[in-house]
Structure 1
Amino acid sequence: MIKKILIPFILLLTVGCQDRELDEVGLITDQAMVVSAHPLASAVGAEIMKHGGNAADAAIAVQFALAVVYPDAGNIGGGGFLVLRQQDGTVDALDYREEAPGAAHRDMYLNEAGEVIEGLSVNGHLAAGVPGTVDGMVQLHEKYGSMPWETLVQPAVSLAAKGFPLTEKEATKLNEYRENFITYSSRRPEFILKDKWRQGDTLQLPDLAKSLARIRDKGRAGFYEGATAQYIVDEMKRGGGIISKMDLANYRAIWRDPLTAQVGEHTVISMPPPSSGGIALIQLLTISENYPVGEWGVKTAKTAHFKIEAEKRVYADRAKHLGDPDFYDVPVEGLLDKTYIKNRMHDFSMESDTDSEQVYAGEPALAEGAQTTHYSIVDPMGNAISVTTTLNSNFGSLVFVDGAGFLLNNEMDDFSAKPGYPNSYGLIGGEANAIAPGKRMLSSMTPTILEKEGELYMVVGSMGGSTIITTVYQIIMNVIVHDLPMQGAVNKGRYHHQWEPDWVLTELGALGPVTGLRLWLMGHKIAPNVNGIGRAAGILVLPDGRMEGGADPRGDDAAAGF
């Protein structure tokens, strides 16, 4: 029966669109580069650097610009992670992930029978965690910024006040989500409602412009105190949410030590917990060191089968062992031990699929003593920053803060509502990721920087919920193992396995008819994804010192620089 069901899927793979050009080379620049999800945001970042700003300055300006022009993920009502590398080789990581409000509790999404109430952690006011974006940008500016704060926020204020032309994709999304905005916001957000948005229409966001102006003029206090804080609390009261003034006043982004690991001739620098991305990415790349993936080829059944099997085992570890390190003792050293990682593939067979029910999390040694958008930036001094920021789902909780003009996240869904129960991305979580007041929910965001021979080599990251980790992994492999240019590596079709559910999610044409059929015959269950997997932003430093940008053709992404 299963084979009969899956035959149409295989046929879809044979007629689906083919990979985009794998030999395509992206924008080449000499001094600086920004790659983000929107051309206007990329242009803002490039302009900041043209006027003497560094990578941190550009990142702040891009973050606020995306909050205007890319409202489904760019935000001031969400959070994120960033990894940076200074020109002298020093590295740092900032966790500005959202937190559970003080009134949150472990069983807040369960009914009296102890069952999960569908949708409660996804849509509406109760889905929102305490936003971290603004404090994160303030702390980034305090530690690494060089230009005046007001200069960095003003481009976003101008975009929101004067308006900007909608792309075809953004117009389509606003039309699709119109009824949801009405349903889940306590008051109709008239400024974003229209019977039919079209490409080229000008979208003005006057309330958001005022909120951004308060941030421009008062910094942190312009969001977590005063008028904006009151707007958020009033919105919570009207819609049954639980974020309080105290939650907002107490929120602080956290500087953390990034994870670093040597994988072959590359040093991988990525995000530690509460992101699962760094650990999972390093595990995947380390596993791949032990197999001749380059010899197998970029689009063969052997390569795809191996990567899928590695992903299953890594996501099983993620489900059991990862959470907020301030609340749970994450065994980071054990999970990154090369012997442990190698042993995770002890039951791997090149001939057949391993059923996910037979794949278990490993037992790493304990330590002795942790909808999304991504942008990548390199400045003329050689400083680099990799930033992934999110509201979680498209347009987050779908709740606009009345009077303030921005959307709130639905990051509470990234907690485990109940151990073993999947979230909206199908990810399974356990005790390590249970809800607690002030706790940060586990994430898949994977902002990453690579060095080669001690020099900056690559800046990369992606959007895509649970598929972020595998997207970043496959792009890095496309470059360092399969020798694709940055743009070709981003273009290449993607596939994804996350242990549970036991499906290989694949873009149409990503595997091709021969590979797709061979995987199916091995026992892999294949589920086509017509909307695409991830949207990545990458920068590759070329041997002559110039930079190549990889902007994802799956969206409106664009590279800009000089």
Structure 2
Amino acid sequence: MITDTFNNKINSYLILPLAILFLSTAGCVQGQLGVNNSGQYNNGIVVCAYPDAAQVGLDILKKGGNTVDAAVAVQFALAVTLPQAGNIGGGGFMVYRSADGKTNTLDFREKGPAGASANMYLDSAGNVVPDMSLYTHKAAGVPGSVDGMVAAHDKYGKLKWADLVQPAINLARNGFKVTERLASDLNETRAQFQQLNPGKKYLLKDGDWKKGDLLIQEDLAKTLEQIRDKGRNGFYGGEIADKLIAEMRAGGGLITKADLDNYHSVWRKAVTGTYKGYKIITMPPPSSGGIALLQLLQSVEKYPLNKWGRNQDSTIRLIVEAERRVYADRSKYLGDPDFYKVPVDSLLKPAYIKSRMSNFSWDAATPSKSIQPGAFAGYESHQTTHYSIVDREGNAVSITTTLNDSFGSKIFVAGAGFLLNNEMDDFSSKPGVPNMYGLVGGVANSIQPGKRMLSSMTPTIVEKDGKLFMVVGTPGGSTIITSVFQTILNVIEFNQNMQQAVASKRFHSQWLPDQVDAEAGAIDSATIIKLQSKGYKVVLNGGIGRVDAILKTKWGYYEGGADPRGDDTKLGY
């Protein structure tokens, strides 16, 4: 039976937009479903989750900044203009590719505080306490975004640090005009802001927010000034750190001054693979996204998807069956590699992936309860936003950052004006118990002090014939992986341009629960009937993902795709 539902948990996360940066020709195009705004630029392009932040990125590029300079500026601008997901109180991942093909990745994911423990969200009976890992001070992991931006700038930046942070300060102090979507999100979250922040007035006003209202954030501007003037120490030390620790003490949180002092982002080697001659460069653990994406692509590579057609019966069934097996593996084997031996090579072996698909039958759906994580010989046992940047030299970044839920924990740091994340929910509070996105985990992703929680973020860069081809990523909790996967297929298999590929309706499956979530209109009624006859449960849902991506065409220009599900914007020169 088709069930019309609106998964509030997932959709609140999907409200977090996604941004992709690239350099190109001046012009701003707001995406609309069904509209072919190809956004073709010769020098580069910025595709980002909020118009004002996209403009900041474009201005930096025009001033001679490189892709990392623009990324830093956009990150801080989004912390002002996109409070649902843009942040200085969260963390994320960056995939980098230089113009000459050198790659690197930066892990600035949040960490569990030193006071965290495996059973910290369980009651005396061993049951998970509802919402404790979501809307309390104990839900916050040690933030990584500011350290990550400092590390990226130190390694690759070109312009002065202060010049990259100043535009965000201007937006916070002088204000910016809210969009209709942001106004709606602020109004819908007002009651939680008031409940969780007694005595604080952040993001609140008399009456409802309306499109065009000016949002001014003076405390956030002062915080950003500290970061502008003192770099890393402007956030992890000094008065901002003192305010964060005071907030922790006031609310019974766990983050200490030592946790802030000890936080450092980590440079990691990208995980790579191929799909029909294209090279996929993506994020390693503690992101689950890169390994899962490569597994999915290899699982479907030998099948004639182009012949079957996009979102047709056989295509959907194959993809769903691959997704079920990949998410089952995710539940057992993926976690922070600094704490747990992640079997990357085993998970990506072609023979293993082939064996996982060996019990797939065209006769009927494989029930998720009959699918278990795979086994190897000798093995020891989801608010978010995205942006990618390519500068005129051809250096590219794909960056996804997050607070986890929309507006994170909904708790502000008094006097500092920024939101705390609720990333601790991305750990496995209890083996076998799903988190807010329905994802199940185990020992590999158990809570430990100093450990980075597993993520679905999948910032990715694709090469063709040794040259830059695509930059792609999205927010969306557990749907991030499948949204990136389908966007890549839309271009490579189904010959869509970049705007069509990100705007096309999507579907998603993740092992548990045993169902196929689909956007309304993603699957036609005749195909749904065919899927039902084979045992697939189709659930019609709200928007899936906010993919912003960039394609370098065979003619050499950049083509942007800004997801019409949000306020996503593409700008270039």
Aligned to 1:197: 209
User: In 1, distance between residues paired with 2:337 and 2:484?
Assistant: 23
Aligned to 2:433: 421
User: In 2, distance between residues paired with 1:511 and 1:23?
Assistant: 19
Aligned to 2:41: 29
User: In 2, distance between residues paired with 1:217 and 1:351?
Assistant: 64
Aligned to 1:495: 507
Secondary structure in 2 matching 1:475: helix
- Tell me how far 1:26 sits from its aligned partner: 2.2
Aligned to 1:89: 101
Cα displacement string for residues 334-373 of structure 1 (whole angstroms, at most 9, x for unaligned residues): 00111111211011112321110011111145689xx100
Aligned to 2:523: 511
- The answer to whether the Cα contact below 8 Å between 1:96 and 1:132 also exists between their aligned partners in 2 is yes
Percent identity (aligned): 54
Structure 1 counterpart of 2:366, from 347, 354, 357? 354
* 1:283 and 2:295 matched: yes
What is the correspondence of 1:15-164 to structure 2 with a 5 Å cutoff? Answer: 24-164=36-176
CA 1:175–1:454 in structure 2 vs 1: closer, same or farther (change >3 Å)? same
Name the amino acid aligned to 1:157. Answer: I
- The answer to whether the Cα contact below 8 Å between 1:20 and 1:492 also exists between their aligned partners in 2 is no
Name the amino acid aligned to 1:538. Answer: A
- The answer to whether the Cα contact below 8 Å between 1:49 and 1:58 also exists between their aligned partners in 2 is yes
* 1:520 and 2:532 matched: yes
- Tell me how far 1:46 sits from its aligned partner: 1.1
Aligned to 2:15: none
- Tell me how far 1:176 sits from its aligned partner: 0.4
CA 1:193–1:235 in structure 2 vs 1: closer, same or farther (change >3 Å)? farther
Structure 2 counterpart of 1:250, from 252, 256, 262? 262
User: In 1, distance between residues paired with 2:388 and 2:399?
Assistant: 6
Name the amino acid aligned to 1:406. Answer: F
Aligned to 2:222: 210
- Tell me how far 1:187 sits from its aligned partner: 3.4
Q: Which runs of 4+ in 1 moved over 6 A?
A: none
Aligned to 1:13: none
Secondary structure in 1 matching 2:272: strand
Structure 1 counterpart of 2:445, from 424, 433, 450? 433
- Tell me how far 1:448 sits from its aligned partner: 0.1
Cα displacement string for residues 414-465 of structure 1 (whole angstroms, at most 9, x for unaligned residues): 0000001100000000000000000000000000000000000000000000
Name the amino acid aligned to 2:362. Answer: M
Aligned to 2:463: 451
Aligned pair count reads 546
Name the amino acid aligned to 1:236. Answer: M
Structure 1 counterpart of 2:282, from 264, 267, 270? 270
Secondary structure in 1 matching 2:53: helix
Name the amino acid aligned to 1:517. Answer: I
* 1:554 and 2:568 matched: no
- The answer to whether the Cα contact below 8 Å between 2:3 and 2:538 also exists between their aligned partners in 1 is no
CA 1:201–1:312 in structure 2 vs 1: closer, same or farther (change >3 Å)? same
What is the correspondence of 1:319-334 to structure 2 with a 5 Å cutoff? Answer: 319-334=331-346
Name the amino acid aligned to 1:85. Answer: R
User: In 1, distance between residues paired with 2:205 and 2:248?
Assistant: 21
- The answer to whether the Cα contact below 8 Å between 1:458 and 1:538 also exists between their aligned partners in 2 is yes
Secondary structure in 1 matching 2:169: helix
Cα displacement string for residues 134-167 of structure 1 (whole angstroms, at most 9, x for unaligned residues): 0000000000000000010000000000000000
CA 1:7–1:431 in structure 2 vs 1: closer, same or farther (change >3 Å)? closer
CA 1:489–1:65 in structure 2 vs 1: closer, same or farther (change >3 Å)? same
- Tell me how far 1:20 sits from its aligned partner: 7.3
Q: CA RMSD in A?
A: 1.5
Aligned to 2:487: 475
- Tell me how far 1:526 sits from its aligned partner: 1.3
Name the amino acid aligned to 1:316. Answer: A
Cα displacement string for residues 174-233 of structure 1 (whole angstroms, at most 9, x for unaligned residues): 000011111122532345344200000000000000000100000000000011001111
User: In 1, distance between residues paired with 2:239 and 2:176?
Assistant: 26
User: In 2, distance between residues paired with 1:467 and 1:285?
Assistant: 16
The unaligned stretches of length 5 or more in structure 2 are 6-30
User: In 1, distance between residues paired with 2:188 and 2:378?
Assistant: 47
User: In 1, distance between residues paired with 2:199 and 2:343?
Assistant: 45
- Tell me how far 1:23 sits from its aligned partner: 7.8
Aligned to 1:14: none
Cα displacement string for residues 107-144 of structure 1 (whole angstroms, at most 9, x for unaligned residues): 00000111100110011211000000000000000000
Cα displacement string for residues 74-113 of structure 1 (whole angstroms, at most 9, x for unaligned residues): 0000000010100010000000000000000010000011
* 1:312 and 2:324 matched: yes
- The answer to whether the Cα contact below 8 Å between 2:4 and 2:539 also exists between their aligned partners in 1 is no
The normalised TM-score by structure 1 is 0.95
* 1:536 and 2:521 matched: no
- The answer to whether the Cα contact below 8 Å between 2:114 and 2:255 also exists between their aligned partners in 1 is yes
User: In 2, distance between residues paired with 1:204 and 1:20?
Assistant: 28
Name the amino acid aligned to 2:216. Answer: Q
User: In 2, distance between residues paired with 1:135 and 1:553?
Assistant: 31
- The answer to whether the Cα contact below 8 Å between 1:77 and 1:391 also exists between their aligned partners in 2 is yes
- The answer to whether the Cα contact below 8 Å between 1:23 and 1:485 also exists between their aligned partners in 2 is no
- The answer to whether the Cα contact below 8 Å between 2:4 and 2:540 also exists between their aligned partners in 1 is no
Name the amino acid aligned to 1:506. Answer: A
Aligned to 2:231: 219
CA 1:365–1:222 in structure 2 vs 1: closer, same or farther (change >3 Å)? farther
Name the amino acid aligned to 2:67. Answer: A
- The answer to whether the Cα contact below 8 Å between 2:111 and 2:142 also exists between their aligned partners in 1 is yes
Aligned to 2:24: none
User: In 2, distance between residues paired with 1:187 and 1:325?
Assistant: 41
Name the amino acid aligned to 2:404. Answer: N
Secondary structure in 1 matching 2:317: helix
- The answer to whether the Cα contact below 8 Å between 2:3 and 2:539 also exists between their aligned partners in 1 is no
Aligned to 1:174: 186
Name the amino acid aligned to 2:530. Answer: R
- Tell me how far 1:7 sits from its aligned partner: 6.7
Secondary structure in 2 matching 1:352: coil
Secondary structure in 1 matching 2:485: helix
Secondary structure in 2 matching 1:351: coil
- Tell me how far 1:528 sits from its aligned partner: 1.2
Secondary structure in 1 matching 2:547: strand
Secondary structure in 2 matching 1:192: coil
Name the amino acid aligned to 1:404. Answer: A
Moved more, 301-310 or 315-324: 301-310
CA 1:190–1:65 in structure 2 vs 1: closer, same or farther (change >3 Å)? closer
User: In 1, distance between residues paired with 2:337 and 2:303?
Assistant: 32
CA 1:25–1:338 in structure 2 vs 1: closer, same or farther (change >3 Å)? farther
- Tell me how far 1:8 sits from its aligned partner: 6.6
CA 1:62–1:190 in structure 2 vs 1: closer, same or farther (change >3 Å)? closer
Name the amino acid aligned to 1:544. Answer: W
- The answer to whether the Cα contact below 8 Å between 1:331 and 1:365 also exists between their aligned partners in 2 is no
- The answer to whether the Cα contact below 8 Å between 1:334 and 1:365 also exists between their aligned partners in 2 is no
Name the amino acid aligned to 1:545. Answer: G
